[in-house]
Chain A
Amino acid sequence: MAQRVESKMKLRASGILVLFSVFLLTGCGDDQAVDSSVPVEAEMAQPSTDETSTAAMIEKARALYEEAELKEHAWLVTSRSIDAATQALADNDDEAARVAAKLAIFTAQASLQQAETEAMSWKSRVPK
């Protein structure tokens, strides 16, 4: 009985090893768009609190954009939204500035998620 359990465990462990190796060799094989189940959307779904100043939101967007730029995955829409938010804030249009800053944060987070996903999934597209 104990031997059977042991051999079952060995078999399971080998299976896991093979799966793990295949994953590393081929990537996750996910050729889909950016995974929408990521925490990015959950975070974005929360309305920013009134205490968060518009300037701080723009600053956050800028920091995320720079991170995406470093990973060579920055999006044009983020850059344009940051510019729009900055301009609106300078024009004392706080509401418009916050809308643009939110969009900038959202798209910057999505671009970072894309960079993370693509670091592996590109492999599945190489002709064999």
Chain B
Amino acid sequence: MRLIVLAVIVALCPSAFADPEGDRLAFQKFYESRFPQIEVSDHKDGAYALDPAKREQWQEMEEFPPYEIAVDEGQALFEQPFSNGKQYADCFDNQGVGIKQNFPFFDIAKGQVVTLEVALNNCREVNGETPLPYDGEEISYLASYMAFTSRDNKFEIQVPEEGLAAYEAGKQFFYERRGQLNFSCASCHLQSAGNMLRAEILSASIGHATHWPTYRFKWEQVGGLHKRFIECNQQVGAVGLSQQGETYRNLEYFLTYMNNGMELNGPASRK
């Protein structure tokens, strides 16, 4: 009888038994076993941590970083006063400098995950400005500047009890197969991390949240993590979801929690 009750509780309310820290330790252990020669912290460089030749090429490219303009533009936008005289800095802790390691967070009052991009738009709305489109350049520039000021800080994502359901939803999305190819995020970046996919090496998820926004040569511009989520989903034949929609925010929440303790090194460049 006890077993039935337990089974029913688990089935109806999986978040009641969620253990984010246990998940993170198991996640980290998986990569430690898979790549014993690589320090977990080195995965912040994505696929470049896995291949010395590609890493060398990437480091050469980093001498003239293609995201530099985005950081400069972002700073100018960040410091530009709103029509009411206030600035973005007035909306954030520490005037918005060096705080990206705390994003995304679960807003208990609103009952949802708040990413940096959402917080930027909330700031605009509070100050009477129209929100920026999430697929536009301006929001990526602002996030690039804020990421730049947060470099070397370590992720400290918290999952309060109220945020467990959002965390679990993100976790489910990460492990769920989708698209015509029937792949999950984990199929490529956990089970097959380090393997070649045509000419590219599949990166490990353990460093996936550290370096955003990113200048992707394929995009020829700086873009956010959700833009990459859409691309990943489409690559396996699934219809991508909307940037900063609840599902991708939950996914970012889970993925960033898995990166807790890792250094931020955004913005970055990727092929």
Chain A residues engaging chain B, CB cutoff 8 angstroms: 17-18, 20-21, 24-25, 33-34, 69, 72-77, 79, 107, 111, 114, 118, 121-123, 125-128
Contacts and interface: CB of A to CB of B under 8 A. Distances in A.
Given A72-B247, A74-B239, A127 B178 contact: no
B126 interface: no
B239 A122 contact: no
21 contacts: A20-B3, A20-B7, A21-B4, A24-B8, A25-B10, A33-B182, A34-B182, A69-B239, A72-B247, A74-B238, A75-B237, A75-B238, A76-B180, A77-B237, A118-B176, A122-B172, A123-B175, A125-B175, A126-B175, A127-B30, A128-B26
Contact of A76 (B4, B7, B179, B247): B179
Contacts of A18: 3
B241 interface: yes
Given A17-B3, A122-B172, A107 B241 contact: no
B247 A75 contact: no
B241 to A, nearest CB: 6
B35 interface: no
Contacts of A123: 175
A79 B234 CA distance: 12
B124 to A, nearest CB: 28
Contacts of B180: 75-77, 107, 111
B241 A72 contact: yes
Given A20-B3, A20-B4, A122-B184, 7 more contacts: A21-B3, A24-B7, A34-B182, A118-B176, A126-B26, A126-B175, A127-B190
Given A72-B247, A76-B239, A118-B177, A127 B29 contact: yes
Nearest to B240: A76
Contacts of B191: 125
Interface residues of B, number: 32
Contacts of A25: 7, 10
Nearest to B172: A122
- Of all A-B residue pairs in the complex, the 8 with the closest CB atoms, nearest first, are A122-B175, A74-B239, A127-B30, A24-B7, A21-B7, A127-B26, A118-B176, A122-B176
B99 to A, nearest CB: 30
Contacts of B10: 24-25
Contacts of A17: 3-4
B232 interface: no
Interface in B1-40: 3-4, 6-8, 10-11, 23, 26-27, 29-30
Contacts of A69: 239
Contacts of B29: 127
B91 interface: no
Nearest to A77: B180
A124 B111 CA distance: 28
Contacts of B100: none
B103 to A, nearest CB: 23
B171 interface: yes
B61 to A, nearest CB: 31
Contacts of A127: 26-27, 29-30, 190
B186 interface: yes
Interface in B27-79: 27, 29-30
